[in-house]
Structure 1
Amino acid sequence: MPYGPGHGTVGRVIDANDLTKRYGATTAVDRLTFTVRPGHVTGFLGPNGAGKSTTLRMILGLNEPSGGTVTVDGRPFRGRPRGLRHVGALLDAHDVHGGRSARSHLSALAHSNGLPRRRVGEVLEEVGLATVARRRIEGFSLGMKQRLGIATALLGDLPVLLFDEPLNGLDPEGVLWVRGLFRRLAAEGRTVLVSSHLMREMEHTAQQLIVIGRGELIAAESLAEFAARGTRLTVTVRTPEAARLMSVLAEEGAAVRGESDGSCTVTGMGADRIGELAFRNRVLLHELSPRSASLEEAFMGLTADSVEYSAGDAR
């Protein structure tokens, strides 16, 4: 579809090459290399403090890299005039003048970036704020501010869109709306990068993933590839002869853990093999249920060593 002023055709990409940001002795982003392509939603994931927001700010030219490069459509974003004519972004939904109305806020941005005023009404309608457009932003809920931030990103009708934690404060209806919006934008051929620390939400929205931890790249691949690499198969077993079965399975190389509800969790062996061994050893089974770990569990497992603070650190 045609985009707003000065954008041309679809196909713009975000390219990072050895992108690095240091603050004194602290390395916030460490030699990140990735590409974000149009046509699908790319989830940008990592624990809190992983360097996601710093990376987004470097993409937008708000922070200068200490090393490496990042470009949008082959050019650094820093120095581009009228930024809303090139990339639409939501970085901080609270970073608005509370005394202004939603309409006046968007109107000022449209004027300063040379965008048509009609876009103000269009995006307010699209994000569901048309009926409160003249209310002061200071009276908005967090979810309403998130919608206004998304409206700001959409104002220029751009081929490249960045969203930092866009689901914060949204109710379930709002979350479903955002998921559908991002999928539609990507289906139109736009480049859509969504930063989040919530794998559970991204598995419903993203097709591609960039996962970082402590500023370093952990994965850059499709959602399906990430799931296959990160998940592990477990089998839940219930039997009145748990001790005997655990001994049999351990001898065959499986890892078996007794649970508080009386069941056993088996890893390293499939349900078919467990059933065969139970039958051969005359062990009665009440349950034999294979289970794949969720994508959120895969995310937690792959990023466990990259979490800045864990519950055990607080002492």
Structure 2
Amino acid sequence: MPRRLCPRDGGRVIEVEELTKRYGATTAVDGLTFTVRPGHVTGFLGPNGAGKSTTLRMILGLNTPTSGTVVVDGVPFRGRARGLRHVGALLDAHDVHGGRSARAHLSALAHSNGLPRRRVDEVLAEVGLTAAARRRVGGFSLGMKQRLGIAGALLGDPPVLLFDEPLNGLDPEGVLWVRGLFRRLAGEGRTVLVSSHLMGEMEHTAHQLIVIGRGELIATQSLAEFAARGSRQAVTVRTPDPAGLTSALTAAGATVRHEDDGSCTVTGLGAERVGELAHRHRVPLHELTTRAASLEEAFMGLTADSVEYGSRGAR
């Protein structure tokens, strides 16, 4: 089972400095600088094509930067022997020999990294695959392959963990399990970096965020700070007279959007002012609620200029 790191074990920091990767005329990563610290889950967010996977591969030494540096605990990962003891990673759940069993796959990883064989059964139990240990991986669902990939990342009981889109293919129970696992690993003092495009899930999982677009850094801050950057408070209103309310509010400079559920979303005016105007124009209100923007709304607002690039660039 994963251990709780003591202070001398912990403190493994990922440091990225002016990291750049070009493929011919395409710049996948452009001067990225950020730090990932232990003790909390850090979400690595960006539109498709923003350069997230390329960055993770450079952290692991699988891709060579065009320029810039990336180190884990002060040392390039490529220079570490028996790497699974230092960094565990899940980059592609499909990157497994389909003819091998789950136990054989993990046993090969354990042997190549000088890890005790008991760790294989421990991580299989940790991810809920004990009953499927002898089954060939080629017959696994995507969710089961994700669990196997997470088992591989945990095999060396490392202080640093990287996950690229780990929630793909998981059922709701699996998503809840992963959410709890990541938070527990961070609580043990590990450095946990999770790349994902699922904004709603990161809202429930991450403590810190690193957001990139077009290969460039957009933000590195707490979840709450990032959401506040892109948020505009909106007011949700329900009324039996939406036309009358819209007329009164737009005349006062508000924007009113009529939702499919019959409510109205008002921006540009606070709830108190909306209530005053409704009363003045004799428009009855059945609901008047202030709502802050979600993480997804903040993300979409701040990365809107990066989406088109995503269809062209490398991910």
Q: TM-score under structure 1 normalisation?
A: 0.91
Check conservation: 2:5, 2:159, Cα contact below 8 A: yes
Task: Kindly state the Cα deviation for residue 247 of structure 1 after the two structures are TM-superposed.
Answer: 4.1
The corresponding residue for 1:70 is: 70
The corresponding residue for 2:256 is: 256
2:276, 2:107 → 1: CA distance? 70
The corresponding residue for 1:125 is: 125
The corresponding residue for 1:274 is: 274
Check conservation: 1:102, 1:137, Cα contact below 8 A: yes
SS state of the match for residue 276, structure 2?
Answer: helix
| Paired AA for residue 200 in structure 1 | G
1:261, 1:156 → 2: CA distance? 50
Greater CA drift, 300-309 or 194-203? 300-309
Change (3 A) 1:262 1:166: closer
Task: Kindly state the Cα deviation for residue 53 of structure 1 after the two structures are TM-superposed.
Answer: 0.4
Change (3 A) 1:248 1:54: same
1:56-135 equivalence runs, <5 A: 56-135=56-135
Task: Kindly state the Cα deviation for residue 8 of structure 1 after the two structures are TM-superposed.
Answer: 5.4
Check conservation: 2:47, 2:310, Cα contact below 8 A: no
The corresponding residue for 1:192 is: 192
1:200, 1:2 → 2: CA distance? 29
The corresponding residue for 1:139 is: 139
Change (3 A) 1:181 1:274: same
1:87, 1:78 → 2: CA distance? 11
Unmatched 5+ stretches in structure 1: none
Change (3 A) 1:171 1:256: closer
Task: Kindly state the Cα deviation for residue 236 of structure 1 after the two structures are TM-superposed.
Answer: 2.9
1:261, 1:126 → 2: CA distance? 42
| Paired AA for residue 175 in structure 2 | V
Task: Kindly state the Cα deviation for residue 85 of structure 1 after the two structures are TM-superposed.
Answer: 2.1
| Paired AA for residue 90 in structure 1 | L
Task: Kindly state the Cα deviation for residue 105 of structure 1 after the two structures are TM-superposed.
Answer: 1.0
Change (3 A) 1:204 1:138: same
The corresponding residue for 1:178 is: 178
Greater CA drift, 239-248 or 273-282? 239-248
2:142, 2:33 → 1: CA distance? 33
1:176-207 Cα shifts (integer Å, max 9, x gaps)? 11111111100000000011010111111111
Unmatched 5+ stretches in structure 2: none
The corresponding residue for 1:299 is: 299
| Paired AA for residue 138 in structure 2 | E
SS state of the match for residue 167, structure 1?
Answer: coil
Q: TM-score under structure 2 normalisation?
A: 0.91
Identity among equivalent pairs (%)? 81
Greater CA drift, 33-42 or 250-259? 250-259
Check conservation: 1:48, 1:308, Cα contact below 8 A: no
SS state of the match for residue 119, structure 1?
Answer: helix
What RMSD over aligned residues (CA atoms) do the two structures have, in Å?
Answer: 2.3
1:183, 1:284 → 2: CA distance? 46
